[in-house]
Amino acid sequence: MKYDHDNISPLDNRYANKISTFRNNFSESALIKIRFEIEIDWLLFLCTKLSKSFKPLSNESIKKINSFKNNFDDKYVLQIKKIESTTNHDVKAVEYFIADHFNKDKVLSKYVHLIHFGLTSEDINSLSYACLIKNGILLFVNESLNTNKTLLKHTKNWSNISFLARTHGQAASPSTLGKEFKVFSARLEREIQILKAIKPLAKFSGATGNFHTFDIVNSSIDWPKANKRFLKQFGIEQNLYTTQIEPHDWIAETSHSIVRINNILTDLSQDCWMYISNDIFKLKLNKNEVGSSTMPHKVNPIDFENAEGNFGISSALFEFFANKLTKSRHQRDLSDSTVLRNIGLGFGYSSLALSSTNKGLSKITPNISSIKNELDNNWEVLTEAVQTLMRYEGIPDAYEQLKKLSRGSKLTQDSYIDFIENLDISNVSKTKLLALTPSTYIGIAPTLSK
């Protein structure tokens, strides 16, 4: 791949290799190619599936047309772009390019009139973007599943590693690292399933969505049914009720789902950043990396920082797509067209952030000694367990007693044991509490991890 320093987006230079699959899927060339294929396949559909109404094609002609379609390359793109420079209409340029090719063949020239037959450019665009976004969703889901695999690995490996939890930034009832990662994994898995269930939609019904051109040609054909059959070839559902444009509600659903995934993983990235800052995690060293241009000792959590920033850009784009694309003046205005051209950017920045998240997750390892020291220095977190058992045994002011003992002050192991030994509670409860330590007060966190 050529590294072009003049590209304005870092997705096309600095980060190009990291999102190559998304760049290939959403590029201008990819958009031109799918438009080209749809135009060809529509003509083939008319002449093979509706051959009673349209001039049939011979097997030899079908073979020629498919060969033309399957040989799509950069030369085709350049020729189509050259035509567009004159027409100032991208879809029409594809139509003219195909017509030029057909006119060079004695037999195919008789079918030029069927290129783009009955269609408006938005029919081609609607199906084209549906195909691109459908493929983009598949790529994005696969990358999200890879991230979830890493989360599940950490969940399993760290299911029994106790650490001091924090609520409001203050010491709280301990948890395990595995259980906390399980929370993110479960959230991500749920949202992935929601995203996978979204059905891409397209319209293929003419200028203002009423099948005018089709009905005027032959009203005996069930055109909605026929066109639905054509869309199915691409794995796309038909939206029968549209204006000139497909309303894009399904794109908004996709956008909102990806924003939620971005938010889940931003939450993860920020937590990991703070765990590293608080010495809960250590970062694995790469001797060749530089953490600071002036401070040689630094090992920075840059992957989680990069992830947070790029998830943010992606979400800003997708939130705009969802808000903008679902609104159009009367039967259509063209403002959605220029916006849709940027849909790949949202996927690209989220993919880049996923890559950074995975890299960050591969570098962290629990800092066992620091985790243990922090737990040992926070015996006051056991006051929740103490006051709960006191309540269970009928002591009405249990909370108030523990508040007086622990709020704003530190408990030690000795002061904790002394308090428990002087409590007027049953031997069963007293034995439980005396055996308890901050590292063992983790409830069923290990079970939840699994």
The CATH H-level (homologous superfamily) assignment of domain 378-449 is Fumarase/aspartase (C-terminal domain) (1.10.40.30)
For 283-303, give one letter per residue: b (16+ CB within 10 A) or e: beeeeeeeeeeeeeeebebbb
Helix (H, G, I), strand (E, B) or coil at 181: helix
The whole-number pLDDT of residue 300 equals: 80
Residue whose C-alpha is closest to residue 176's, from 198, 195, 203, 154 = 154
User: Is residue 329 pLDDT above 90, yes or no?
Assistant: yes
- Which member of 53, 292, 335, 362 is catalytic? 292
Cα separations in angstroms, 427 against 139, 261, 262, 393, 395? 59, 49, 50, 11, 15
- For the chain, the 3-state helix, strand and coil shares in percent, each to the nearest 5, are 65, 5, 30
Domain range 122-204+233-368, CATH class: mainly alpha
Q: Locate the domains of the chain by residue range.
A: 14-117, 122-204+233-368, 378-449
User: For 266-291, what is each residue's pLDDT tens digit?
Assistant: 999 999 999 999 999 999 865 555 45
pLDDT in tens, 135-181: 999 999 999 999 999 999 999 999 999 999 999 999 999 999 999 99
Catalytic residue among 168, 293, 297, 330: 168
Q: What is the pLDDT of residues 43-85, one digit of tens each?
A: 999 999 999 999 999 999 999 999 999 999 999 999 999 999 9
pLDDT of residue 293: 39
Higher pLDDT, 299 or 321: 321
Cα 154 from Cα 165, distance rounded (Å):
17
Query: What is the fold of 14-117?
Result: Fumarase C; Chain B, domain 1 (1.10.275)
Closest CA to 325 of 256, 260, 237, 228: 256
Q: Would the CATH topology of 14-117 be identical to that of 122-204+233-368?
A: no
Q: How far is 248 from 242, CA to CA, in rounded Å?
A: 10
Side-chain half-sphere exposure of 399, counting CA atoms within 13 A: 1
Q: What is the pLDDT of residues 363-411, one digit of tens each?
A: 999 999 999 999 999 999 999 999 899 889 888 888 788 777 767 777 8
In this predicted structure, the answer to whether residue 228 has a pLDDT above a threshold of 70 is yes
For residue 168, indicate whether it is catalytic.
Answer: yes
- How far apart are alpha carbons 399 and 122 in whole angstroms? 67
Predicted local confidence at residue 284, as pLDDT: 81
CA distance 331 to 179: 51
Per-residue pLDDT, averaged over 15-23, amounts to 92
- Give yes or no for a contact between 174 and 441, defined as CB atoms under 8 angstroms apart: yes
- Cβ within 8 Å of residue 439, ≥6 positions away: 162, 174, 372, 375, 376
- In terms of DSSP bridges, do strands 281-283 and 364-366 run parallel, antiparallel, or are they unpaired? antiparallel
Question: Mean pLDDT over all residues of the chain?
Answer: 93
439 is catalytic: no
